Structure 1
Amino acid sequence: MSSVDVLIPNYNYGRYLRACADSVLSQDIDLRLLIIDNASTDDSAQVAREIAAGDPRVELRLRRENLGPHSSFNEGIDWAQGDYFLLLFADDFLVPGALRRAAAVMDREPGVAFTYGRDVAIEGDAPIPDIGPQQADVSYRLHQSRTFIERFCRLGVFQIPGPSIIIRTSIQKRAGYYRPELPHSDDYHLWLRLALYGRIAELDCIQAGIRSHGANRSSELRARQIMHILHTAEAAERFFTHEGRNMPDAAHLRRLARRGIAERAYWSAFSHIQRGDPGALELLKLAFRLRPQTAILPPLGYLLRRPDTIRRIKAAFRIGRIPDTRLA
């Protein structure tokens, strides 16, 4: 039986930590869980101690000073020894059977670098909902490395839920660490690098849950979303300058990425204008710099390429609700 190592990095999410850990520890597979608390000022440390006291599979690292999130992410990569690895934020959760389903696919498909599935969203402090039974042997689609990367380039965004991504540990260690210099797109940069080492399996089932709370409706999040698009452009440039430079048609893919990010920035600026939010000018400048044509002709083709266009247009007109750009 394959094994999975799960990292839960935490900072001041003590109110969600137990539910997140329980969603991991209830999985029907051989696993270990590492909780790294980054010097939280709430009751996180006490909650983590109680979780560890109740299950020998749990390891704790309680920091006395905040070293930043990337230190936790990368410490977890060093710690991982199982066949597969998952980074799960403390406010998110797994659905029953998620680890076994992913492991079964990767056991069957040794060329797969990582798997992901669908997600379910919950609001605020709502309890984790009951997820209906799902087949243990789920259907899945295999994406070739280049196809997966090209899809990102065309849209300028990954449309996959991060909490559902379960990675082959040997490939995670080859791909390396999260880059702290990309605080808003470090995950994108890593997923591009991981894709160089194998195919990607998209599972036809719900694998994880994402909680929307507090800051998801704040102006701070909107500022982070703007920074995310700016950093996505930097992540793509770094990838094609370094790890992805030897891909066939790397120059073509780099141009596609610039276009996709420019058109994403353009429409993000439009949604900021609709809401009366600041930041639209900065996004338009990025769009015009990466693709000057957007200053003359609106990139309508981009909306046709995105399968979630209708949902996002509706969301843009909902007062106070800003979709998460990493998952959109």
Structure 2
Amino acid sequence: MRKVTPRALTDRPRVTVVIPCYNYGHFLAECLETVFADADQVDVDALIVDDASPDGSAEVARRIAAEDPRVTVIAHETNKRHIATYNEGLAAAEGEFVVLLSADDLLAKGSLARSAALLRAHPEVGLVYGFSRRFFDTPPPPRTGLRSWSIWDGPEWVARVTRTATNPIYTPEVMMRASTMRDLSGYDARLPHAADYHLWLRAGTRAAIGRVNGVDQAFYRVHGANMHTGEYSGDVLDVEQRHLTLRILFEEDGDRLPGAGRMRDDAYRALAREALILACRPYERGRPGAAEAEQLARLAELAGEIWPASEDSALRRTYERYAAGRGPVVPVPVTALRDRAVLHLGWRRWRHSGISPAVRSL
């Protein structure tokens, strides 16, 4: 990885922002206001793809498009689900660069210009990301001090990310070169919960990866209707989908990654460790109920499936002790304090570097 000094745009590249929408019509006006905030620096158009929303979102989108020629609308007659909706919009994008922005999320002022400037200055880069702030009702004031650009060789970035087996990118902060997106053919329907993670990793097998440092590039809205906090929530499903993502990546694109075998082993070991940590954690906070204990047992079982050597690890023995009723030696307040400290330090490292903290080997 190398840090480089940012450069300003010297032309006006075209950026298409694809906005998938399902029952988020009431967010569209605010979302689009942030999309066009950079129209003084880039030529930006928006494509809203409404997935047969029953709340009248398509009518809201059509009214907006009737008043702004930069906005076009695709409205499904029947619900096609999120992966098909994403891919349809991305396939129809006409800009040199493309952004996928959920209708409930927002862009930070200047983000399109900053990402486009990096892509323009470094033609080897196929994907740019940054930091996306989480918010509930009102987005916080953004950080505006552009510090640097990070440029990774693609396989180097893939190795860094898979070593932790976690996804360091939300989505609204990503801009991709349209040619890279076309090469990747969009999101993989086999991975309804982890298709974004898979797409970022595959991008790294084909192009360099860039990051805009020091500023907030987008705002990710947190609420009960989020795809990732609603239908597809659950630690078991999350671990299963990340395991499948990694397996597909190394089976289908491993020939593009030097040292793919070692990279795969590091990823599986890290994911198995995380599964065991997730299986242990509820016991450190109290005695889980029968239904929860069953899910925790499945996490421990998954760890063994992902990385068989984990069956002989200290973490596995800790889980078995907890599950047998020989609960944690450390008091609950102490473990809670430890978890908060680890979480906060990890978050700070992620915000600074763009890479999730490494998980220690089993």
Structure 2 partner of 1:267: 277
SS in 2 for 1:157: coil
Distance of 1:311 and 1:158 partners within structure 2: 20
Structure 1 partner of 2:310: 294
Work out the number of aligned pairs and report it: 306
| Pairwise CA RMSD | 2.7
Closer, same or farther: CA 199–289 of 1 in aligned 2, 3 Å: same
Structure 2 partner of 1:282: 298
Distance of 1:140 and 1:159 partners within structure 2: 17
Closer, same or farther: CA 219–50 of 1 in aligned 2, 3 Å: closer
Structure 1 partner of 2:259: 249
In the TM superposition, residue 313 of structure 1 has moved relative to its aligned partner by 4.7
In the TM superposition, residue 75 of structure 1 has moved relative to its aligned partner by 0.9
Q: 2:104 aligns with which of 91, 110, 133?
A: 91
Matched, 1:145 2:154: yes
In the TM superposition, residue 116 of structure 1 has moved relative to its aligned partner by 0.6
SS in 1 for 2:86: helix
Contact 2:97/2:175 (<8 A) preserved: yes
Contact 1:117/1:161 (<8 A) preserved: no
Structure 1 partner of 2:28: 17
Q: How does 1:42-191 map onto structure 2 within 5 Å? A: 42-123=55-136, 126-131=137-142, 133-135=144-146, 138-191=147-200
Return the letter of the residue paired with 1:186. A
Larger mean CA deviation between 44-53 and 80-89 belongs to 44-53
In the TM superposition, residue 217 of structure 1 has moved relative to its aligned partner by 12
Larger mean CA deviation between 108-117 and 49-58 belongs to 49-58
Contact 1:116/1:161 (<8 A) preserved: no
Q: 1:229 aligns with which of 234, 239, 245?
A: 239
In the TM superposition, residue 246 of structure 1 has moved relative to its aligned partner by 4.0
Q: 2:204 aligns with which of 192, 195, 198?
A: 195
TM-score of the superposed pair, with normalisation by structure 2: 0.77
* Percent identity (aligned): 30
Distance of 2:33 and 2:273 partners within structure 1: 41
Gaps of 5+ in 2: 1-11, 317-337, 346-355, 358-362
Gaps of 5+ in 1: 301-307, 316-326
In the TM superposition, residue 207 of structure 1 has moved relative to its aligned partner by 0.2
TM-score of the superposed pair, with normalisation by structure 1: 0.85
In the TM superposition, residue 31 of structure 1 has moved relative to its aligned partner by 1.1
Structure number, greater radius of gyration: 2
In the TM superposition, residue 5 of structure 1 has moved relative to its aligned partner by 0.7
Larger mean CA deviation between 272-281 and 223-232 belongs to 272-281
